[in-house]
Structure 1
């Protein structure tokens, strides 16, 4: 290592009026002013690591400052990107307090004394990271930023998955509700159809039962005559009837046509009846009276029992008539006013 050459003159000593010197917080005793000094071999010592350390620390400061700056820019950029992508507030990043520039040059030894400022290359480095050889603060900060970004990405993906599962559950619920409504509508339609079918069958059964009843009655009842024509019906209005309307049902037939008992009963009247001509009254067991009017002859007598279809007289034109016919009236319960003979006969299974 070369020795320092002798100095021809004392270097410039800065005045105290200029304030603090470069690299230090205050003026130090070894900054001058100096007296003329002629070094000897005994007074010259090999240059130790102070100046080199200061130079190396200066280089380290530049490199660490550059990396730290890049790390901070990356942190800000990553935080902004994460905030923009996820819609969450930006992640706050805390940086340790950096030592002042003067304090970096204040330590002239290779090892910093206890209580000194933190070295720039160790900013944000944990003991574990130091043990593993991690000495670059920017790299550590970048790793942490990337870890935070990955964590945010995981949260975003988890939220997206949760939203997708919620949407799928909602869709499944809607489909289930729609299927339930369809099933209920189908069940209601089937129930209505079954009810209508049951009603139809009930009506059909009732109709068949009525037909059977009427058929049975028809065997017990008979038409009063044959080879006839219906000329006047019940309730028909006209001046030829004293009541102003027709009170029975007229069966026009040739004179002498046989008149038969409609149902089993007892003869309660047989003889002349004024405008009705010759009339026979057949009283049934329930008290209903059947009036046979305008007869040409009577074949039974009062109190006689007759059966269904038995001859009781013949068609004629006696009384107030315009031609030979049977005037049939039906009186229920001894009433003087009759009912419609057509409806009564149909109720017994007979259709004139």
Structure 2
């Protein structure tokens, strides 16, 4: 602010009865007559702005005065910067210990290097230098301490505004970091889930492939087994023969009925006309040949493995006990002797241990299909 020189103050003089004047004895109601008023004309020097500028007169202790000033400004700047750093970093305030004056004085920076401080100290009392320092002081006030170049470029020139802008920027950066962290976590979770799904699908595909391969292998093995069995049976069929021809299967092993003494049929019946030839199913020896009660005329052919083949109800027999016969050789003829209802061959198969088994299954096991 500009300052104007005050007008001279009138001196008060007590009333004097002996004084004369237009207003009374004193002339001015108690005030003594004054010298004439002089006109006051403001000058550039009298109205020059002095904001942020203090003039320190040189004296014998001028060095100490300047050092004290620099120290005070340095402490202010340090406290301001510490407050800004505390607000930015969220750290607790930093306590400042005042060092010994004599030890700190020599380590302080030049006063003119501090923002807004150079104009506070002047080597002379006026002149062009004084005008320059006043301009600098006005351009760089002390409140701009802690304002960076980036703040100034953004139009932020106040320390408080700069602090607010930095806090807002830091909060925005933290928000962005949190959003980035969430995004990255979501992406990682999606990638992990996709990998797990792909692994599960791959596992299913591998399991399906293994199952398919196992099934194909089983089928191949089954086909190979059947092929081998067919070859074996074909080979056996060449050495085995059906007991007769031009027949019809009328009763099977295990059939139930009152016509059989045991209640169940114990063989396989080949119905055929009387006199139809009966053939040896395989090479063997005639174990018995003759009458056998309800079986009529019966021939028993024993094979090399001890299996016995019974030919029952024959009309005639062509072999004798102990005779060796070969596959397909005629050993008798179909008849209706014994307990029968018509001409047929009643064939039974007994193992070497004496068990009575199904003749149809046994013939099929030799590659024959009656």
Q: Structure 1-normalised TM-score?
A: 0.65
The answer (yes or no) to whether the contact 2:274–2:343 under 8 Å persists in 1 is yes
Cα deviation for residue 131 of structure 1 reads 5.7
1:179 — aligned with what?
A: 198
1:10-29 correspondence to structure 2 within 5 Å: none
- Uncovered stretches (5+) of structure 1, i.e. residues with no partner: 11-34, 59-88, 95-113, 115-125
Aligned-pair RMSD on alpha carbons?
4.1
The answer (yes or no) to whether the contact 1:237–1:244 under 8 Å persists in 2 is yes
The answer (yes or no) to whether the contact 1:6–1:39 under 8 Å persists in 2 is no
1:252-291 correspondence to structure 2 within 5 Å: 252-291=271-310
State how many pairs are aligned: 266
The answer to whether residue 143 in structure 2 is matched with residue 137 in structure 1 is yes
Check 1:265–1:2 CA distance in 2 against 1; reply closer, same or farther (3 A cut): closer
The answer to whether residue 311 in structure 2 is matched with residue 305 in structure 1 is no
Question: Equivalents in 1 of 2:32, 2:91: separation in Å?
Answer: 58
1:9 — aligned with what?
A: 12
Check 1:164–1:284 CA distance in 2 against 1; reply closer, same or farther (3 A cut): same
1:345 — aligned with what?
A: 363
Question: Equivalents in 2 of 1:300, 1:93: separation in Å?
Answer: 125
Question: Equivalents in 1 of 2:311, 2:236: separation in Å?
Answer: 21
1:26-37 correspondence to structure 2 within 5 Å: none
Cα deviation for residue 275 of structure 1 reads 1.6
1:190 — aligned with what?
A: 209
1:151 — aligned with what?
A: 170
The answer to whether residue 256 in structure 2 is matched with residue 237 in structure 1 is yes
Cα deviation for residue 148 of structure 1 reads 2.6
Question: Equivalents in 1 of 2:210, 2:358: separation in Å?
Answer: 43
Question: Equivalents in 2 of 1:207, 1:269: separation in Å?
Answer: 38
Question: Equivalents in 2 of 1:232, 1:2: separation in Å?
Answer: 153
- Uncovered stretches (5+) of structure 2, i.e. residues with no partner: 14-30, 53-87, 94-100, 102-111, 119-135, 145-157
The answer (yes or no) to whether the contact 1:6–1:37 under 8 Å persists in 2 is no
Cα deviation for residue 285 of structure 1 reads 0.5
1:109-124 correspondence to structure 2 within 5 Å: none
The answer to whether residue 140 in structure 2 is matched with residue 128 in structure 1 is no
Moved segments of 4+, more than 4 Å: 1-6, 35-41, 55-58, 89-94
Task: String of CA shifts for 1:4-59, please: whole Å, max 9, x gaps.
Answer: 5561537xxxxxxxxxxxxxxxxxxxxxxxx9796799xxxx999xx979x9669x
1:79-98 correspondence to structure 2 within 5 Å: none
The answer to whether residue 217 in structure 2 is matched with residue 214 in structure 1 is no
Q: Secondary structure at the match of 1:268?
A: strand
User: Which deviates further from its counterpart, 294-303 or 128-137?
Assistant: 128-137
The answer (yes or no) to whether the contact 1:279–1:294 under 8 Å persists in 2 is yes
